[in-house]
C-alpha cells in the first residue's frame, strides 16, 4: 500500500506521540499531600486502581490509533505502486467485443464510451516525462491496435478512434497476456487499464478459441455435424450459471494453471467500473435444420428450420430489467450466396414473448433453391434475421444468424465390389449388403456405382460423394493413396472391417492415408458373447435418426469386432460394453469396426442398417465446402497460421457470408460467420462478480476506476475510497474513545462540580 | 452557683505533663466570643445523674442539700415514709409523697486525641481562629482537627467549671500523654488550657489502651467526653465503648472531621502521604472520590451506630463550622434528655 501524501502521513504518525507526551506530562503533575484518612484512600484506591489503569491504557491506545487512522486517511492511501511523477507506460485493453456494440437509449454504443475513456487516459500522459502508450483489443487481439508502447499519442488516438466493435467475445486472458508482455518490455513503471462495461457477455467463456484456429481446416460441413447452425450455446456462458463464479477460460486470470498471469504481472491492473444501465437485447441463439444438405426431393419437414430466440439484458444480480414485458417481433429468413447476394426472397414469421418469458421458438420453411443446375451442388447461407420494436434489441449483430446449407439434386455413392467368389454360396457378399442399403429411394436420390478394388484411382473417384468399402483388405497401396486424396478433398469414406481372421494388415495402409483412423486395432477380437448395441455420444451426428436410434439398434448383435480407441464424442454406436461399433473418425470418415458378415454381426440384416447408411450418405455430398462459423471462436488466419500462446491471428471476427478460400486463394465454397451470441448477454455485473471471474485464483491485485472520470486518475479514486473507509474506522475509534473518556471523566467532573459547590 | 471563672489569656509556656513543648496559650483562640455568646444561655446537664462527691453515697440521688420540690405522687406500699407530705394528708386524708429535684455535681473528663491524624486541616487559621491571627504560634496556616478539638474541650471545660463541677483532662495518642485530675478549683481552667496547647504527635491512636489507662484512674461514675477523629478500627472503638459502659460511665463522642477530608476535595493528581506513617498512595482524587466518601460515611455511620447501641451520644464536628452551632445543638439535645430523666 502506498500513499499520495507521505509527508502528511509522517506528520500524522508523529502526532501519535502527542497523547503519549500528554500522558507523561500528566504523570508529572502528582503532588504530595499529607492526609489523615489514609485508610479510606487505600480502600478506594484498591477498588479503582485496576479499572482506572485499564481505562487509561484503552484511552491511550484509542487516541494513538485515532491519530494514526486520520493520518492514513489524509495521506490518501491506495494499493499498488507509486503514482508519482516519472516515466510511465500505459497499456490500454479495450473491450471491442460484441457486447461493446450494445446501443443505449441515446443511440450511442458502449464502445464509444470505451473509446472516450481510453482517450481520456491518454490525455493524462505526459510526453515530456517519457510516458508511452500501447493499445490492445480484447476481442481483436493480436497483433494489437498499438502493440508496441509509443510516445506518439496522436497516432494512438487515431488508432483508437478507428476501432469498431467485433462480433466475437473478448478474450481477456489473452489480451492481458499481450498487455503484460508489452508493459514488461518497457522496464518502467506501467499500468494496464482495462476499459470494458463488464456486461455478462464480455466474460463469456472463450476456452476453445485457441484450439479452433488450428483445427478448423476440415472441409465442408458444419462444425459438429449436428444439423444446427454451429452456434456456441449461450447456456455455456458462465453468467448464466446462476450466482456462481463464471467459468471458462475467460475466467481465472489469477489462476496459475490458466495463464500464470498473476505471477508475472508487474504492472498495476486497473479495471473500469462495470456499466450499471440495463440494455435489452434480443438474440437468435439457435437455428436447427434437419439436414444441412438438402436434396431436391426433400419433403417439407426436411425443409423446416426451428429458430430459438431469447432476450437478455437484466441485471445478473437483481434479475430486474427489460425481460418482464410481453414483446412481439418478426423473423425473416432468406438464402444468401457466397457473394453476399440474396438469391431467395425472404419468408417472414412472427414471434412473441409472453410476459416474463425469456426464450421463444418459431418454425420457418427454408426457401427453395432459386435455380437448379443439374447435379452440381450449391452452397448458400440460410440467413435468419429478427426485427423487434425499438429499444428491445440493443445489439444488432446477434439478431442475424447465418446457417450454411448445401443444395443437391442427388448423391453419388460408390461401393467397392468384392473380388472373387464367396466361400459360402449361401452368404451374401458384403458389397451386396451395401448395394441394398444405398439403393435410391424417393427421399434419397442416390446414384450408386460399383468400383473394383484395384480400380480405385483419382479418375474413378471423380464425381463421387461417398465411397463405401466393405473389404478394405482388398485395396492396394495405390488405392489407399487415392482414397486419402479423395477424403482430403471432401469425399466421404465409409469403412467396414473385412471378414478375415487374425491380423488385419490393411490397417497400416489405411492409417498412412487416413490418419484419423489412428486407434484402430490390427487384430479382430471375438466376443465371448454377443453384445447388444446402443447409441453413443456421437449419435447427434445423425440428427434425423437420433430419436429412433436406440430402438433400431436394440436388435443388433455383435459377435466380433476390431478394437478402436476413439473419442467418446465421436462414437455413434457402441456395444453395451462400450466398444465402438460406428465411429465418425473424421468429418468425412466413418468407420464400422464390425464386418458385413453374420459371423461378425447381424447389423446388415437389421432394420437399422438401411436408414443408417442413407443418413450417412446424406452427410456426404461431393466436395461442397459450406461451413458455419462463429466470430472469434472459429477464426483462423488466412494462411491457417496460429500465433503462439494460443492467441490466434484472427480473422472472421465480423459476422458475414463469403467465399472460403484455400491457401492459394481459390474459392472453395461458402463460409457463414455468425456473431458469438454468448457475447450478446447485456446483463450488468457487479465489481465482485467481475473480480471473481477474472481473478479466480485471487492473486491479482485489481484496482477499480471510474469510466466517467472526474479528472482523477485511478489511484486517487481507489485511494479516496480506501481513505473513506479509514475515515470511517477513525470515526468508530473516536466514538469508542469518547465513550471511554466519558465513562472516565464523568465521575471526575461530577466530583469537581460537587467540590466546587 | 459560683460565678464562672474568667478565662485568662496566657502566653506563658504550659506547665504540666505535656510531652511536647507547649506553644503559647491564648484562651481566646478556643473561646471565641461568638462561641461563648451562644453557650452562655445553656446549662450543661448530664444525661445521667451522676453521683457527685458532694451528694454522698446514699441510695437516693435526691438526698442532700439544695433540694427543690418537684411534685407530689400517690403513695405506694414500700415507699419511704419520711417523704410523706403530712400537710396534704391532713387536708385531704390521702397519702402523697413529696418529690424533689436536686442539682448534683458532675465529674467531667475530656479525652482529646492528639494523634498524627488530628494534625490535618484545610481551613485557614485566620478564618477559624476568629481573632485575625494569620498563623498559629508554630507557623501553621491551617486550622487542624486538633485545633478544633482543643477549642471544643476548652469550651466544655469552661462551662462545666462555671457550674462548680469537677473537670479532668486527658490528652492521648498511642497512650495517655497528659492528664489533669478532676477538680473544680480555680486554676484548673488554666491547667487545662496549657495542657491543650501541646502539639499533636506522629503516632497512631491506640484507643483501647488509652481507655484502659483512663478508666483505671476513675473511682466514680463520670461523664467522659471523647474528642477524636476516630480514624481507627471500628472494632477497637467498639471495644473501648463497651469497657466505658461496663464501668458505668457516660460518654459523649465528638468526632472531628475536616470538610475537605470528608469530601476529598482535591483536583490535582496527588500522592497521599499518611500522617501516622502509613504507606504513600498515588491516586487521582476524582477517580477514588466516590469510593472514598462512601467508605468515610460508612465509617462514621458505624461509629454512630456503635455509640448509640451503648446509649452514648455521637456528634460529628466539622472543623469548617463554628463550635457554637454543633455544640449548642448538642447541649440542647442533652438538656431535653436531662429534663425527662430528672423526674424521679
pLDDT over 90 at A585, yes or no: no
Contact A406, A372 (CB under 8 A): no
What's the pLDDT score for residue B105?
A: 61
What is the pTM for the complete model shown? 0.49
CA atoms of B146 and B127, how far apart (whole Å): 16
Please report which helix (H) or strand (E) contains residue A91, including its range.
strand A88-94
The nearest alpha carbon in chain B to A43 belongs to B292
Order of all β-strands in the sheet with A304-312:
A281-288, A304-312, A359-365
Neighbouring residues of A642: CB distance < 8 A, sequence distance ≥ 6: A210, A213, A214, A636, A648, A649
pLDDT at A630: 78
- In eight-state DSSP terms, residue A635 is -
Q: Is ipTM over 0.90? A: no
Residues of chain B contacting residue A47, judged by C-beta atoms under 8 Å apart? 288, 291
The residue among A279, A276, A277, A275 whose CA lies nearest residue A391 is: A279
Q: How far apart are CA A293 and CA A379, in angstroms?
A: 9
pLDDT at B239: 94
**pLDDT recorded at residue A152:** 87
The pLDDT tens digits of the residues spanning A592-644 come to 999 988 889 999 888 899 889 888 888 776 455 667 777 776 544 343 333 33
Contact between B344 and B73 under an 8 Å Cβ cutoff? The reply is no
**Chain A nearest-CA residue for B281:** A42
Q: Residue B343 class from Cβ within 10 Å (0-12 exposed, 13-18 middle, 19+ buried)? A: exposed
How many A-B residue pairs are in contact by the CB < 8 A criterion? 113
Q: Which residues in chain B are contacts of A49 at CB distance < 8 A? A: 283
Residue A150 phi, psi dihedral angles, 5° rounding = -135, 155
Contacts of B12 (CB under 8 A, 6+ apart): B24, B25, B194
Count how many residues are written for chain B.
344
Q: How far is B161 from chain A (nearest CA, A)?
A: 33
Q: What is the pLDDT at residue A354?
A: 84
The answer to whether residues A411 and A447 touch, using CB atoms and an 8 Å cutoff, is yes
What is the rounded CA–CA span in Å between residue B242 and residue B239?
A: 5
Position A396 confidence tier, pLDDT thresholds 50, 70, 90: confident
d(CA B151, CA B166): 19
Chain A environment of B145 (Cβ under 8 Å) = 36
Residue A180 gets the label, from left (phi > 0), alpha (psi -120 to 50) or beta, of alpha
CB-CB under 8 Å, A33 with B270: yes
Q: In chain B, helix, strand, coil percent, each to 5?
A: 40, 20, 40
- Asked if A28 reaches chain B (Cβ–Cβ under 8 Å), the answer is no
Distance CA A422, CA A498 (A): 13
Q: Three-state DSSP class for A42? A: helix
H/E element, B142: strand B142-143
Nearest to B264 by CA among B241, B293, B244, B240: B293
CA B340 to chain centre: 21
Q: Which of A128-142, A301-315, B83-97, B325-339 has the lowest mean pLDDT?
A: B325-339
Which stretches of A327-476 are assigned E, i.e. beta strand? 327-336, 342-353, 359-365, 378-387, 400-408, 411-416, 446-451, 466-469
Residue with cell 412472427: A350
Per-residue pLDDT of A729-743, as tens digits, reads 888 888 888 888 777
* Interval A174-189: pLDDT, tens: 888 888 888 887 777 7
Are the beta carbons of B143 and B123 closer than 8 angstroms? Answer: yes
pLDDT at A575: 92
Share of chain A above pLDDT 70, in %: 75
- Antiparallel, parallel or unpaired: β B142-143 and B123-124: antiparallel
Taking any CB pair shorter than 8 Å as contact, residues of chain B touching chain A are 116-120, 145, 229, 231, 258, 261, 263-276, 278-292, 295-296, 299
Asked if A29 lies within 8 A of B282 by C-beta distance, the reply is no
Helix axes A609-618, A430-437, angle to 10 degrees: 70
Which tens digit of pLDDT belongs to each residue from A514-543? 988 888 998 888 888 888 999 988 877 787
pLDDT tens string A73-97: 877 676 655 444 457 888 999 898 8
Which stretches of chain B score pLDDT less than 50? 1-25, 37-66, 337, 340-344
Average pLDDT, rounded, for chain A: 76
Reported as type and span, the H/E element at residue A177 is helix A172-184
- The answer, for A44 touching chain B at a CB cutoff of 8 Å, is yes
Q: What is the largest CA-CA distance in chain A?
A: 137
Amino acid at each position: 500500500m502506498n500513499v499520495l501524501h507521505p509527508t502528511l502521513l509522517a506528520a500524522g504518525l508523529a502526532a501519535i506521540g502527542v497523547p503519549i507526551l500528554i500522558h507523561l506530562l500528566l504523570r508529572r503533575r502528582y503532588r504530595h499531600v499529607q492526609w489523615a484518612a489514609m485508610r479510606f484512600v487505600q480502600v478506594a484506591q484498591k477498588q479503582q486502581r485496576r479499572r482506572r489503569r485499564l481505562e487509561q491504557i484503552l484511552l491511550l491506545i484509542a487516541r494513538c490509533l485515532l491519530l494514526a487512522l486520520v493520518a492514513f486517511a489524509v495521506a490518501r492511501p491506495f494499493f499498488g505502486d507509486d503514482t508519482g511523477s516519472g516515466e510511465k507506460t500505459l497499456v490500454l485493453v479495450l473491450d471491442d467485443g460484441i457486447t461493446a456494440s450494445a446501443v443505449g437509449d441515446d443511440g450511442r454504443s458502449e464502445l464509444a464510451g470505451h473509446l472516450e475513456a481510453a482517450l481520456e487516459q491518454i490525455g493524462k500522459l505526459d510526453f515530456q516525462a517519457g510516458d508511452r502508450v500501447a493499445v490492445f483489443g480484447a476481442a481483436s487481439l493480436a497483433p494489437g491496435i498499438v502493440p508496441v508502447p509509443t510516445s506518439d499519442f496522436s497516432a494512438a488516438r487515431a488508432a483508437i478512434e478507428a476501432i469498431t466493435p467485433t462480433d466475437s467475445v473478448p478474450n481477456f486472458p489473452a489480451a492481458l497476456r499481450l498487455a503484460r508482455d508489452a508493459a514488461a518490455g518497457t522496464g518502467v513503471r506501467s499500468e494496464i487499464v482495462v476499459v470494458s462495461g463488464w456486461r455478462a457477455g464480455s466474460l463469456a467463456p472463450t476456452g476453445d478459441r485457441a484450439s479452433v484456429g488450428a483445427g478448423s481446416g476440415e472441409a465442408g460441413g458444419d462444425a459438429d455435424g449436428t444439423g444446427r447452425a454451429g452456434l456456441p450455446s449461450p447456456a455455456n456462458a458462465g453468467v448464466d450459471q446462476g450466482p456462481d463464479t463464471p467459468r471458462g477460460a475467460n475466467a481465472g486470470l489469477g489462476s496459475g494453471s490458466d495463464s500464470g498471469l498473476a505471477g508475472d504481472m508487474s504492472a498495476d491492473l486497473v479495471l473500469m467500473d462495470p456499466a450499471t444501465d440495463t440494455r435489452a437485447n434480443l438474440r437468435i441463439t439457435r437455428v436447427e435444420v434437419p439436414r444441412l444438405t438438402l436434396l431436391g426431393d426433400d419433403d417439407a419437414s426436411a425443409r423446416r428450420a426451428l429458430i430459438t430466440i431469447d432476450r437478455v439484458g437484466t441485471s445478473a444480480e437483481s434479475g430486474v430489467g427489460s425481460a418482464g414485458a410481453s414483446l412481439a417481433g418478426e423473423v425473416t429468413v432468406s438464402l444468401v450466396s457466397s457473394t453476399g447476394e440474396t438469391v431467395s426472397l425472404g419468408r417472414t414469421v412472427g414471434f412473441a414473448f409472453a410476459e416474463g418469458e425469456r426464450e421463444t421458438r418459431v418454425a420457418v420453411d427454408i426457401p427453395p433453391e432459386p435455380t437448379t443446375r443439374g447435379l452440381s451442388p450449391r452452397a448458400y447461407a440460410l440467413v435468419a434475421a429478427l426485427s423487434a420494436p425499438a429499444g428491445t434489441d440493443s445489439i444488432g449483430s446477434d439478431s442475424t444468424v447465418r446457417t450454411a446449407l448445401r443444395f443437391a439434386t442427388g448423391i453419388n455413392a460408390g461401393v467397392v465390389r468384392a473380388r472373387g467368389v464367396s466361400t459360402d454360396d449361401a452368404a451374401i457378399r458384403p458389397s451386396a449388403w451395401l448395394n441394398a442399403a444405398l439403393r435410391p429411394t424417393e427421399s434419397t436420390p442416390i446414384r450408386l456405382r460399383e468400383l473394383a478394388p484395384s480400380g480405385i484411382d483419382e479418375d474413378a473417384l471423380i464425381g463421387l460423394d461417398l465411397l463405401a468399402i466393405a473389404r478394405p483388405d482388398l485395396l492396394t497401396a495405390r488405392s489407399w493413396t487415392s482414397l486419402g486424396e479423395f477424403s482430403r478433398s471432401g469425399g466421404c469414406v465409409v469403412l467396414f472391417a473385412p471378414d478375415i481372421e487374425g491380423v488385419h494388415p490393411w490397417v497400416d495402409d489405411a492409417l498412412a492415408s487416413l490418419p484419423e483412423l489412428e486407434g484402430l486395432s490390427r487384430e479382430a477380437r471375438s466376443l465371448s458373447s454377443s453384445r447388444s448395441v446402443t447409441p453413443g455420444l456421437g449419435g447427434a451426428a445423425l440428427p434425423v435418426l437420433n430419436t429412433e436410434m436406440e430402438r433400431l439398434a436394440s436388435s443388433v448383435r455383435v459377435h466380433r469386432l476390431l478394437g478402436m480407441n476413439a473419442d467418446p464424442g465421436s462414437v455413434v454406436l457402441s456395444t453395451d460394453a462400450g466398444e465402438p461399433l460406428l465411429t465418425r473418425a473424421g468429418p468425412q470418415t466413418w468407420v464400422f469396426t464390425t464386418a458385413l458378415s453374420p459371423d461378425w454381426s447381424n447389423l446388415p440384416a437389421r432394420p437399422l442398417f438401411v436408414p443408417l447408411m442413407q443418413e450417412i450418405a446424406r452427410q456426404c455430398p461431393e466436395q461442397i465446402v459450406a461451413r458455419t462459423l462463429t466470430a472469434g471462436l472459429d477464426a483462423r488466419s488466412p494462411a491457417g497460421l496460429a500465433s503462439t500462446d494460443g492467441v490466434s491471428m484472427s480473422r472472421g471476427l465480423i459476422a458475414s457470408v463469403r467465399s472460403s478460400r484455400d491457401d492459394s486463394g481459390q474459392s472453395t465454397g461458402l463460409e457463414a460467420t455468425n456473431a458469438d451470441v454468448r457475447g450478446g448477454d447485456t446483463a450488468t455485473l457487479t465489481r465482485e462478480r467481475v473480480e471473481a471471474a477474472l481473478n479466480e485464483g485471487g492473486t491479482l491485485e485489481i484496482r477499480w476506476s471510474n469510466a466517467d472520470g472526474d479528472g482523477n486518475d485511478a489511484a486517487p479514486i481507489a485511494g479516496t475510497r480506501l481513505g473513506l473507509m479509514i475515515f470511517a474506522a477513525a470515526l468508530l475509534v473516536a466514538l469508542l474513545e469518547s465513550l471511554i473518556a466519558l465513562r472516565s471523566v464523568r465521575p471526575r467532573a461530577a466530583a469537581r462540580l460537587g467540590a466546587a459547590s | 452557683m459560683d460565678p464562672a471563672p474568667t478565662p485568662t489569656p496566657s502566653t506563658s509556656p504550659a506547665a504540666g505533663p505535656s510531652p511536647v513543648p507547649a506553644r503559647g496559650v491564648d484562651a481566646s483562640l478556643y473561646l471565641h466570643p461568638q462561641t461563648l455568646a451562644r453557650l452562655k444561655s445553656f446549662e450543661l446537664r448530664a444525661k445521667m445523674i451522676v453521683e457527685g462527691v458532694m451528694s454522698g453515697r446514699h441510695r437516693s440521688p435526691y438526698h442532700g442539700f439544695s433540694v427543690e420540690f418537684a411534685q407530689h405522687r400517690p403513695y405506694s406500699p414500700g415507699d419511704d415514709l419520711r417523704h410523706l407530705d403530712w400537710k396534704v394528708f391532713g387536708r385531704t386524708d390521702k397519702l402523697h409523697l413529696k418529690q424533689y429535684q436536686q442539682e448534683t455535681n458532675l465529674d467531667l473528663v475530656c479525652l482529646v486525641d492528639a494523634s498524627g491524624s488530628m494534625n490535618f486541616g484545610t481551613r485557614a487559621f485566620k478564618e477559624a481562629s476568629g481573632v485575625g491571627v494569620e498563623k498559629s504560634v508554630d507557623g501553621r496556616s491551617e486550622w487542624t482537627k486538633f485545633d478544633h478539638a482543643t477549642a471544643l474541650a476548652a469550651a466544655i471545660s469552661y462551662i462545666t467549671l462555671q457550674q462548680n463541677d469537677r473537670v479532668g483532662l486527658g490528652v492521648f495518642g498511642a497512650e495517655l500523654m497528659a492528664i489533669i485530675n478532676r477538680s473544680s478549683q480555680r486554676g484548673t481552667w488554666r491547667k487545662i488550657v496549657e495542657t491543650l496547647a501541646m502539639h499533636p504527635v506522629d503516632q497512631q491512636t491506640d484507643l483501647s489502651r488509652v481507655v484502659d489507662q483512663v478508666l483505671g484512674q476513675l473511682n466514680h461514675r463520670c461523664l467522659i467526653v471523647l474528642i477524636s477523629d476516630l480514624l481507627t478500627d471500628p472494632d477497637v472503638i467498639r471495644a473501648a465503648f463497651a469497657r466505658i459502659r461496663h464501668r458505668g460511665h457516660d460518654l459523649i463522642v465528638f468526632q472531628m472531621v475536616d470538610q475537605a477530608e470528608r469530601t476529598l476535595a482535591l483536583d490535582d493528581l496527588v500522592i497521599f502521604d499518611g500522617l501516622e506513617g502509613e504507606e504513600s498512595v498515588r491516586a487521582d482524587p476524582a477517580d477514588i472520590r466516590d469510593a472514598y466518601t462512601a467508605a468515610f460515611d460508612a465509617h462514621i455511620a458505624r461509629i454512630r451506630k456503635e455509640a448509640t447501641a451503648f446509649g452514648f451520644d455521637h456528634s460529628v464536628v466539622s472543623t469548617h463550622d463554628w463550635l457554637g452551632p454543633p455544640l449548642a445543638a448538642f447541649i440542647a439535645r442533652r438538656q431535653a434528655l436531662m429534663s425527662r430523666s430528672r423526674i424521679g
